[in-house]
Amino acid sequence: MAEAGPFVKEITPPDQDYSQWYQDVVRKADLADYGPVAGFMVMKPAGYALWENIQAGLDRRFKATGHVNAYFPLLIPESLLMQEAAHVAGFTPEVAWVTQGGQEQLSERLAIRPTSEVMVGAMYAKWVQSYRDLPLLINQWNNVVRWEKVTRPFLRGKEFLWQEGHTAHSSAEEAMAETLRMLEVYREFLETELAMPTRKGQKSDSEKFAGAELTYSVEAMMGDRRALQAGTSHYFGTRFATAYGIRFLDRDGVEKHAFTTSWGMSTRVIGALIMVHGDGRGLVLPPRLAPIQAVIVPIGANASPEVLGAAQRLHGELSETLRVHLDQRPEYTPGWKFNEWEMRGVPLRLELGPRDMAAGQVVVVRRDTGEKRPLPLAGLAGQLGELLEAVQADMLSRAEERLRQHTHAASDYGEARQILTDRLGWVEAGWCGSVACEDQVKEETGATLRNLPLDQPAPALCLVCGQPARHMALWGRAY
């Protein structure tokens, strides 16, 4: 990573106070601000541009797998919400309620959706009558409200944006295949677009989604080696279908309940993006996601008309294939602009001055490493495209190396406790499946069981109690 230099001000070094560093980067990179109601975030244009690119990448993948978009109402009648007991128990403490509309006191409270399984279930019960109506594969892009007590921009707020997919199927096998397919969509998207490696696995019963039979997650390691749940996919079996009456007449003439799933990814991944790749100079964006892939900075306190003209021509040429920005603001010096765009995480900076024009070149600086080198103007677009792909690959490689270095196979519980509390790494070890052992780790280390990694055989013994292990488990302190 590029080291902080003399222009970096007001960004706390991450190794000094990681939490404050995160807040500083959000503010200095101009991603978000606090709204007038506590816990509600305003996404500024730079932050929302990231979300738009995340939306585009995910939406393309959803449609390629046969899903379509729809929209469901924001308000849920209390009587409808109460129909699935486990779901209600999990979400009621975070629900915000509407009790009055205009001057009218409502006869029934309306919940502002904390998630949409209830509303979707009620509508699917109307839409599904026959096996011919299945599978029903719908996604929606929306906002939800959860009355969180402790909030932090992007990572946890009272309101956030996300997508939530909801599907209904005629068989358990098909619904389970959908659950795992969408988990893999998330893993591939995060790795390919955000340069963010993750570990796929099944959540323990105590960590699964309220009302789900099975929950799966993709877990990412942040720069401080804490875990962040980047996406989830849930298998409901027939629980929600039974609660909300989603029934269909099957091929054999028998009426049955549908099998349902849901899966979601939120603006939380922007917080993950900051913490996986950011450094002491601020934000570092992977090129495939970056709203601006390269910024052109004319050199000279008052760049000459010749330099500005050349920079404008270069901008026009590169804009045909890249997302490029020309910073020709006369009121700022080149050094100030360098600092500005580094804090905003733009992958490449192109410096163009009189000497560069005479040499037929541009000086290119990588944001991720600080490497600086001249490139000829002839064929520049192609060279920059290759360089951007190299930056993307290198960012993924560094994140993968962090994940490998700080995921440990502890030899005993004492070592695991030391890793989880002092070194803040992850521990991968056997687990007997008991809630008592899971709770003991949480109480003594602050770490939670992140997931049970898929396709891994269980070790012989449980790390905590020494009894025969049923699962391989991944433990870590988390956001």
Q: If you write DSSP's letter for every residue of 5-36 in order, what string do you get? A: -TT--S---TTT-HHHHHHHHHHHTT-EEE-S
Question: CATH for 407-476?
Answer: 3.30.110.30
Domain chopping of the chain, boundaries = 18-277, 294-387, 407-476
Task: Provide the token pair at 40.
Answer: 């509600």
Angle formed by the axes of helices 380-405 and 268-277, nearest 10° = 90
Q: What is the mean pLDDT of residues 76-86?
A: 87
The third-level CATH classification (topology) of the domain covering 294-387 is Rossmann fold (3.40.50)
What are the tokens at 342?
């580094």
Per-residue pLDDT of 131-184, as tens digits, reads 999 999 999 999 999 999 999 999 999 999 999 999 999 999 999 999 999 999
What confidence tier does 17 reach under pLDDT thresholds 50, 70, 90?
very high
- φ, ψ of residue 66 to 5 degrees: the values are 90, 10
CATH of 18-277, one of 3.40.1190.20, 3.40.50.11900, 3.30.930.10, 3.40.50.1820: 3.30.930.10
The total number of residues written for the chain in this structure: 479
Give me the pLDDT at residue 5, please: 45
Percent of all residues in the chain with a pLDDT value above 90, rounded to a whole number: 91
Does the pLDDT at position 1 exceed 50? no
Query: What is Dmax (Cα atoms) for the chain?
Result: 81
* One-letter identity of residue 121: G
Q: Write down the pTM of the prediction.
A: 0.95
DSSP, res 4: P
